[in-house]
């Protein structure tokens, strides 16, 4: 194994570790965002389930993009 190959593996492992860490760890500064927050006691309506026609349309769109 050459030194370049070992260095490539080390860099690849570091990039994978950094990516997984960014995905898994919650943002520590998420509660300190600059935007105003609205505290509402009103319940949000649950999302409506898609109709069979909407499902077929989504599937058709996915097939068109392939």
Residue 12 has pLDDT above 70, yes or no: yes
10: which 2 tokens?
Answer: 């080390």
Task: Round the average pLDDT of the chain to a whole number and report it.
Answer: 76
Q: What is the pLDDT of residue 48?
A: 80
User: pTM of the prediction?
Assistant: 0.36
Does residue 37 have a pLDDT over 60? no
Structural domain of residue 17, as residue ranges?
Answer: 1-25
Structurally, the chain folds into a number of domains equal to: 1
DSSP state of 31: G
Q: Which of the pair, 26 or 3, is modelled with greater confidence? A: 3
Sign of CA dihedral 60, 62, 65, 66: negative
What value does the mean pLDDT take over residues 30-35? 55
Query: In the predicted model, what is the mean pLDDT of residues 41-48?
Result: 69
In a domain, 4, yes or no: yes
Q: Residue 20 domain-assigned? A: yes
Give the C-alpha separation, 61 to 58, whole Å: 5
Any domain includes 10: yes
């Amino acid at each position: 194994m050459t030194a370049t190959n070992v260095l490539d593996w080390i860099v690849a492992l570091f990039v994978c570790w950094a990516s997984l860490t960014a995905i898994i760890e919650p943002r520590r500064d998420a509660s300190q965002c600059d935007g105003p927050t609205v505290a509402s006691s009103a319940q949000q309506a649950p999302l409506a389930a898609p109709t069979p026609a909407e499902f077929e349309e989504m599937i058709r769109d996915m097939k068109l993009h392939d």
